[in-house]
Chain A
Amino acid sequence: MNNKLNLLVTCITLISGCAMISEAIANPELPQAAQLCVACHGTQGEGIEPLGPRLAGLSKDYISSQLKHFQTGIRQNATMMPMAMTLQGDAIETVASYFSSQSLKNDVKPVIRGEQVSFDNETARLAYQGDWSRDIPACVTCHGPSGIGGGQFPRLAGQQASYLKTQLLAWQAGTRKGDVDGMMANVANKLTTAEIDALAHYFANLK
């Protein structure tokens, strides 16, 4: 989706999302600073595909750092830049705290690395063992068992496939940055389009 279309869809959603916002306001836990987020990300950060990815299950550190990346353009997104700019002062921490503390429905049971030795499914193998012939490490090394995420490493398990895909493509395109020494860009740049698609679906559908 190009940026203009993205913005248009967002505007329409914001208007049609008024009812949802009213409902959200009724939720006493929802901080005022987060009210603008819920139209696309859901009242509990559960995500609304394809408008906004799931925020529940992401760490507070990760959410706040990404909001700052949107504000500074390290992470380029025509919709999120103005949205993030509305959060000044303590509001970033407030929003990050709120969404990171939301519980996940259908949480995965993390599979510890090594539990499975060989994989028939090439995508699962890439996720759990990487492909070091191309210097691609296992996704789970940084993102944790089953990609459940932690700290600065976002949760992949249960995230929307469309979002995971656009992000890997954004790393490739250089419109998403902010990783120390370009470590994530380095991995993303080695993945084929087919692998990106397959990995996005793999993590999105992990049970």
Chain B
Amino acid sequence: MKSSAIFILAALGAFTVPALATTASETNKDLPDRQAALVSSPKSDAQTYLTPRPLSAIPEGAFGDKVRLGYQLFVNTQQLRDKYVGNELNCANCHMDAGRKANASPLWGAYFAYPAYRKKDDKVNTFEERVQGCFNYSMNGKAPAAGSPELVALSAYAYWLGMGGLMDATNMHDPVPELSDAELVKGAKREDFPLPQALASALTVEQRAKLPGRGYPEIPKPELAYSPERGKAVYTAHCQACHGADGQGQAIAGVYSLPPLWGPMSYNWGAGMHRINTAAYFIYENMPFAKSIQLSNQQAWDVAAYINSHERPQDPRNKGDVKQAQDKYHNDNDYYGVEVDGKVLGTAAYPVFPKKS
């Protein structure tokens, strides 16, 4: 990791990061987060990614306990089932290596990218507000309240991963400075974020917010318009061995580590992953599991379309009218309100935040 900071700086200098097109679906003032398209980072052979410290380096004491709890909630989010989680997913299903892996929406990348202003809802989202969005949509649940121990813990874990990695890259091998809960939940993309001086002078706030490897790398639109029909063949050949022919994943000892991809126990119609583009980026980079980049660009889009053309839990923003919710939130890259196999998706959507039966 010796000259990593230099590599990171070089990579940042070499690329301007295109923001994904915002859509009409990003207008919502009813919930703290509308699960905007993830900001991705382009890939380059030359770049080096932040390497978080090993979990064994988490310090003893109250601060370390928060970091540890954050890790535990992240990999076993099911311990919050019926409290804040309404499906069978865990955060680590979409964030590989417990939120540590580059190009798999690492927590360290997100932590330095918030708070972030979003002009469509005219609101700055703190890091904890962004995580609340995950609970409302990806986890089909009910977000913990601001400042709750769960959000503090997840923030502490994200902060510790990112700060430790940046410090190591800058040859600062001291313990990660402890922060108050109030500081932790805000996120690090702000001028007043407390940083060791050497780090503050090595990277600007904007540079820290655009760390290589954050989000899922964007891939080009496919040559042919994406198709669930072609995607079904891709799914059968490459995905169903783990996720099942019915897309319902597999539980062992009551734990789904192979997650359900659609149906009542998966993410809802408001989650980022319900978008064909976001799912295609994730799949292309991270699936088949631990192999990465085995599918063609076209296959990734097609299979993302197949997965996301199934019914799933209702969009929590739906006020009883699918068409209205579609017009307001779903005009781009998704199947909500669209007729597939003679049925309009969203009309038979499964309940939001159901109790585990």
Contact = CB atoms under 8 A, between A and B. Distances in A.
B250 interface: yes
Contacts, number: 93
B297 interface: no
Contacts of A146: 253
Contacts of B71: 114, 117
B54 A144 contact: no
A113 B71 CA distance: 10
Contacts of A113: 75-76, 255, 257
Contacts of B241: 152, 179-180
Contacts of B238: 180-181
Interface in B198-252: 237-238, 241-242, 250-252
Interface residues of B, number: 35
A130 B101 CA distance: 12
A117 B68 contact: yes
B98 interface: yes
A114 B93 CA distance: 13
Interface string A112-155: 11110111100000000110110111001111111011111100
B296 to A, nearest CB: 13
Interface stretch (B118-126, B162-170, B271-279, B283-291): B283-291
Interface in A76-127: 110, 112-115, 117-120
B97 A132 contact: yes
B58 interface: yes
B253 A144 contact: yes
B113 interface: no
A144 B252 contact: yes
Interface of B: 51, 54-56, 58, 68, 71-76, 79, 96-98, 100-101, 237-238, 241-242, 250-253, 255, 257-258, 288-292, 294
